[in-house]
Chains A and B, each alone.
Chain A
Amino acid sequence: MGGFNFDQFFDDLKTGITDLAKNDVPEFLREATDDGKEFLGSMRNDLLDWTQQLADGQLSKDEFEFLVKGRKDLAKMEALTQAGATVVKVNQLKSSVVSLIIDSARQIGS
């Protein structure tokens, strides 16, 4: 890839996230920076491919933008899946607690 340094590009993005957090949510600087870097980290492999393809002229800027925004939408779907898994686990735990209470109550009543 002619002259394009992905690692430098990625490091610049990380610095950019810290600056964004400082300006946008200074009261939650650490949390916002951590969340932003985690999101960026989850995109690293995709960005590595797409930036290389952009630099090589295989992708237009418009297509690159479409993909990055699509990756953000995919991240939302991933977060929803995780939320669903959490709901299932909480449901299972609460069902177990309810069963425990009912079993204990039976012993009191007998």
Chain B
Amino acid sequence: MSDPFLIGAAMTGGYGATDILHDCTIAVEKGQIAVIVGPNGAGKSTAMKAVFGMLNLRGGSVRLNGEDITKLSPQDRVARGMAFVPQTHNIFTSMTVEENLEMGAFLRRDDIKATLEQVYHLFPILKTKRHQPAGELSGGQRQQVAVGRALMTQPQVLMLDEPTAGVSPIVMDELFDRIIEVARSGISILMVEQNARQALNIADKGYVLVQGANRYTDTGAALLADPDVRRSFLGG
């Protein structure tokens, strides 16, 4: 079996002396949605940051499209087609919505108008608010700006760290719909989520992490159907 499009294989490492991740594997196929769920402190965000190169791995590797990128800096990974939306501080609050999107496309030297229109098509509210400072928008709209900024690089992989943290259930559903739409356009999505049930609902692949290690790995639907997973992580 060939490698998935993006894989963090057998990753071991942490921020300081102690390891947070233990032999943890996360992968996503082209145009699919992979979701990382698990209890608080399970190392979900850490696993995502490890894939993006934001912490040093003691073991394991990260491969994108068959190429080993373990040693690349996050900035270099952006240039290779990976985009990351942090959980917090993920927009330029003092800049307008449009400037946020322009900054997302900073590395590009070609015409960004088409991509800008695509983002506005995906998030129509951003077009009407494009000259407003992003810091004045609501929580859900800010998340849209954050995702839009990441999409401006025309990434192959979009990584989202708890995109629905702090937004209302209606906005969450809306955001998930948009994420599915992004995946359908051929962009792979790797996402960490607190709202495990809803996230697994839209996931092609789900990873349940516990204490920095893989506990269950299966399709989203299979995990939702698994009585053990339901009992332990989805509240029955």
Are A and B bound to each other?
Answer: no
Q: Footprint of B on A, CB under 8 Å?
A: none
